[in-house]
Amino acid sequence: MKIRPAWSAFAALLSLVALMTTCSARAADPVTPDAAKIVAEREARIGWFREAKYGLFIHWGLYAIPAGEWKGQPVPGIGEWIMNRAKIPVPEYAALAKQFNPVKFDAEAWVQLAVDAGMKYIVITSKHHDGFAMYRSKVSPFNIVDATPFARDPIAELAAACAKHGIRFGFYYSQSQDWHEPGGAGNNWDFPANGEKDKSGAYDKYLREKAEPQLRELLTNYGPTCLIWFDTPQMMSAGRSQRFTELVRSLQPACLIDGRLGASGDYESTGDNAIPPANKVGDWETPATINHTWGFKKDDHDWKSPGEILFKLVDIASKGGNYLLNVGPTAEGVIPQPSQDNLRAVGAWLKVHGEAIHGAGRSPFGPEFGEFSATQKDRAGRPLFLKRDDWRCTTKPGKLYFTVFGEALPRDGFALPAFKNAIKKAYLLGDPSRTVLTTNLGADGVRVVPVPRPAPVAIANVICVEIEGDAVQL
Ligand code: FHN
């Protein structure tokens, strides 16, 4: 029998409490069968997401052709925003489709990268703000099959490869911004401004005639969809969001909805590259770039190193979240080699230490994240958070995983934070023989795990501490 993780029961309870709080009209009988059913359904949907912890985001579209440069001039900002930043008229931008022929695209190779990287799900841009569908769409001819010489459906090829390799597959879909359509939000250089579109009914016409039918296509034609990643919900009122929610639920009840639809989804999406400073309750995900752009830019070579990626992954997992890390393939269909190398380096680490991440729960401690400065202020005048990055802790029933960053483990051993449980044994996950490290009692009653030097693994080592009882007693 599978043991139900304690934190998942806790999250269920939190959801129930949240629901009870919002259902004020039912205060006399807050846990109605309906409310309990809603919570139970969400719990069933979100289980895989809590286990996964690490996913691959892919931003791929026509913007990979100009790759940050328009008419010989570099365009500042993120690559996939080039149409907006350079105010490119619709017909000129749409003409890029005739050049789009990514003959090096290989769905197997992309999915294999996610597997090698230790990632458990892939989310790809099926339509970004430029309005171009990266799949065969009957709703609009502005799609990769009908408008390009490539004439293949990469989403179908990726769906098949994901199914083969056991990777969950989801779609980014820009529901509100669509710079190709007169009624879509965002393109105020070719078309009237957003407010007028809303008033005139053009925006609703776009939603009903393009966004909703395309969403229906995506959820009908590509097998099980693990999540829909909506984004930038300009003008997405409660009613419009509700229509989208109902569409997703009716077509694929197991499909998650991210936190940027307009209404609250199944989990919270933080800001781009935003990692909360401390433990954060609920289910959440940080979408993040591996350099400084989402869509490919030929001049951006500032790749995050394996050490930086790994720190962020463990940091996020120890605060209860997921890390959705992006790559931006080229117009030829190639994922830039430095992204691949750095993801694979972290994947090699996860092969040995993955049990400290996948399915692991948040830290029961907290001081390891850092503290607010008593004197220094941030730009907004609030106390500055001084981050600590020596170690992080993740948990499973009866186990604590202390990931200690850097090649050198502390010379005097690793001083454990205070907890009451007796220790059964401690060992390094990176030690193939799992030699037991006998804990000493140091000064002030602090328990210290002696650690071998040099440490067996570069980048970061994980000390697994097995304790009496499932949950940590502080
Ligand atoms: O505008 C988009 C951006 O292009 C990118 O897709 C990111 C990914 O989180 N989301 C929006 C900005 O937050």
**Tokens 């390799």 appear where?**
165
Q: What is the total residue count of the chain?
A: 474
pLDDT bin (cut points 50, 70, 90) of residue 455 is confident
305-339 confidence digits (pLDDT tens): 999 999 999 999 999 999 999 999 999 999 999 99
Model confidence at 135: pLDDT above 60: yes
Looking at domain 53-356, its CATH superfamily turns out to be: Glycosidases (3.20.20.80)
Ligand 1 is surrounded, with C-beta below 6 A, by: 78, 80-81, 231-232, 272, 287, 294
**Tokens 């067996």 appear where?**
456
Q: Please state the pTM of the whole predicted model.
A: 0.93
Our mutation pick for probing the ligand 1 site, out of 125, 270, 272, counting the most ligand atoms within 8 A of Cβ, is 272
CATH code that applies to domain 367-467: 2.60.40.1180
Our mutation pick for probing the ligand 1 site, out of 62, 85, 129, 231, counting the most ligand atoms within 8 A of Cβ, is 231
What is the mean pLDDT of the segment spanning 156-176? 98
Report CA(231)–ligand 1 centroid distance (Å): 7
Compute the distance between CA of residue 216 and CA of residue 208 in angstroms, rounded to an integer.
11
Least confident among 146-160, 351-365, 379-393: 379-393
Strands 54-58 and 447-449: unpaired
Report CA(217)–ligand 1 centroid distance (Å): 22
8 A C-beta contact, residue 299 and residue 68: yes
Report the chain's mean pLDDT, rounded to a whole number.
93
Indicate which atom in ligand 1 lies nearest the CA of residue 125: 6
8 A C-beta contact, residue 49 and residue 64: no
Model confidence at 43: pLDDT above 60: yes
- pLDDT at residue number 358: 98
Angle, alpha carbons 341-343-348 (nearest 5°): 90
8 A C-beta contact, residue 6 and residue 397: yes
- CATH 2.60.40.1180 in the chain is located at 367-467
237-266 confidence digits (pLDDT tens): 999 999 999 999 999 999 999 999 998 899
Compute the distance between CA of residue 227 and CA of residue 215 in angstroms, rounded to an integer.
12
